[in-house]
Amino acid sequence: MKFSLKKKLLYILGAGMIAALIGQLFTRYYLELPSLIALEARSDSKDVERVRLAMDQLVKKIAVSSIEYGTWDDTFEAVTMNPEEPAFEKFTSINLVPSIFEALDVDGGLFVEQAGNIKYSSHLEKISSRFGPEAKLDPKSLKPDIPYPSRVPVKERLITAGFSQSNLGPVIFAASHIIPSLPPYPASRGIWIWWRLADSQVFNAVIENVQIQAAFIPIAEAAADTHLSVILEKLMASVGHLPRDNGGYLYWLFNDLSGQPMFLVKQNSDKRAFAENLVSESVVIGFAISAFILIIVALFFSRDVLGRLLHAKALMLKIIETGEYDKRLETNNSDEIDTMFTQFNQLLAYIEMQNKELKGQNQELTQLSQQDALTGIPNRRYLDEALDRCWHQSVRSKSFMSVLMIDVDYFKAYNDNYGHKAGDQVLRQIAQTLQNHLHRATDYIARYGGEEFCAILTDTSPEAAFNVGERLCRAIQDLNIKHEASGSVQVVTVSIGISAITPTEIVVDFDLIKAADEALYMSKERGRNQVNLNRTESYGNGSQSIGS
């Protein structure tokens, strides 16, 4: 069969148009849409991570409070008292009351003896109103079971913390060992638990913190809903990306400590930034150009269009693998492919912004974990890291390093006489004063525990450290905080113990904190309100003191 050139041209043009259409659809289906969906999934994961971080922040806040109360001498003594003793009643009436719960943002607290029996439990009135006057949190209902001290030795002050189901419903709780405030630690005498209902008040706080609209739906309620049960089955099967519905909502599961789903989270997400249709505007325009001049379009497609798309795919895959969201596709707004690239770049810019926000929140969480909640100055965790860092720095520079242990004199008597609220205010004043009198960037001050503070001075000789200690003593006394129960002057004072050494590669086990504690003990023994120096150097050991 013979065909005219016109027909051959028409047949070739038709075949070329079909091939061009198939090529455009292939590119759209296998290159463009998967990359866009992968980027969208990354964006969704960032939003979910922000909510999870906010939930973790609530857990860490309760965990810090649980550790502070568990690592407290008063708690360590109270757990062995008879509940009928006045001292026990005084302890519970001060520390397990609504004002403390509200200040710590918890609903209740309890502590149990070493064998797991509840010693004392208390909660806010709203708990009794909701569950009845006899309702109380049963620690045995928490899953997984809390390992009580009779079965587990003391390794970490915090035993466990997180979300869990309980006899009162979903709760956030933190359990920590009841041990003394200072080492060496004997066996734990029990467990201190702070807890809070995981209710709408908690979730509203999370939403307000991350500025993302979300609903936390109990698993049983979600399973009973026809629409949500389908989504729940997909999540349980862990198939594909996090599911979305037509309303633009994103769904994911929030598990409790035992790994069991606790809530189905329905989270508001940004509207999809690209069309999911297979036949897009770029496909239609590309097909029209291919049909107009087949050969030129084919050459252009192989050299420029397809090459650019493959380059874009490679770049997007690299971005997905490396997380380098600051990269961009080159555009000059000259054609439809550049329009698609602009969509890519918009998604990349959005994810980059979210990534920066997430890093900022991580930095903020790190700062909160290293800050003492009461005084606002660094806590013991920060001090331990600073001590290790300064030791190695002093080894390299072969310079002195000094540690000051600072203890508030007669602080228990102050609390007994003026109340814990006034005592907390005194600790804040003292912390601020100590911080204000340590001017160098290489000087560190932190709350060590209870009424005790610790300062690290690098490149500071024993004599200079002693002078700093005297200055701090005078500064606290000059605050003129009235203290009628003081055994010396009638104002709040501090005692200071100092240890100083020039660290070397050979001296690796020297305990500066212990040496400073010994000097502090000497200051207490000699009448308080003074400074004592415990100096360890090649020219000898000794101590010296001057009253402030």
pLDDT at residue 361, as a whole number: 61
Residue type, 278: L
pLDDT at residue 134, as a whole number: 84
In the structure, what pLDDT confidence band is assigned to residue 35 with cuts at 50, 70 and 90? confident
**How would CATH label the architecture of 380-547?**
2-Layer Sandwich (3.30)
pLDDT at residue 5, as a whole number: 43
Backbone angles phi, psi at 52, to 5 degrees: -60, -40
Backbone angles phi, psi at 134, to 5 degrees: -95, 0
The residues spanned by each domain of the chain are: 5-48+276-356, 71-202, 211-268, 380-547
Residue 417, burial from CB neighbour count under 10 angstroms (0-12, 13-18, 19+): middle
**Residues 113-132 pLDDT 10s:** 887 889 999 999 999 999 98
- Give the Cα separation of 188 and 176 in Å (integer): 10
**Residues 136-160 pLDDT 10s:** 999 988 877 777 666 656 677 888 9
Q: What is the largest CA-CA distance in the chain?
A: 121
Tally of CB atoms within 10 A around 363: 10
Cα-based distances in Å from 371 to 378, 429, 438: 4, 16, 18
pLDDT at residue 547, as a whole number: 38
Contact 451, 416 (CB under 8 A): no
Catalytic residue list: 451
pLDDT at residue 538, as a whole number: 35
In the structure, what pLDDT confidence band is assigned to residue 506 with cuts at 50, 70 and 90? low
Q: How many CA atoms lie within 13 A of 370 on its CB side?
A: 13
CATH topology of domain 71-202: Beta-Lactamase (3.30.450)
Q: Is the pLDDT of residue 473 over 70?
A: yes
Higher pLDDT, 351 or 438: 438
- Give the Cα separation of 37 and 357 in Å (integer): 22
Contact 434, 497 (CB under 8 A): no
Is 61 in a helix, a strand, or coil?
helix
The residues facing 158 across adjacent strands are: 176
**Residues 179-197 pLDDT 10s:** 888 877 777 888 999 999 9
Higher pLDDT, 394 or 344: 394
Q: What beta strand segments (E) does 36-170 contain? A: 108-113, 118-123, 158-164
pLDDT at residue 543, as a whole number: 41
N residues, the chain? 548
Closest Cα to residue 175, out of 189, 186, 161, 164?
161
pLDDT at residue 548, as a whole number: 37
Q: Is the pLDDT of residue 546 over 80?
A: no
**Residues 74-107 pLDDT 10s:** 999 998 899 889 999 999 999 999 999 999 999 9
In the structure, what pLDDT confidence band is assigned to residue 539 with cuts at 50, 70 and 90? very low
- Give the Cα separation of 304 and 12 in Å (integer): 22
pLDDT at residue 317, as a whole number: 78
- Specify the pairing of strand 494-501 against strand 530-537: parallel
Closest Cα to residue 462, out of 408, 533, 392?
533
- Give the Cα separation of 47 and 268 in Å (integer): 10
Contact 182, 513 (CB under 8 A): no
Of 35-39, 190-194, 246-250, 452-456, least confident by mean pLDDT is 35-39
Q: Mean pLDDT for the chain?
A: 82
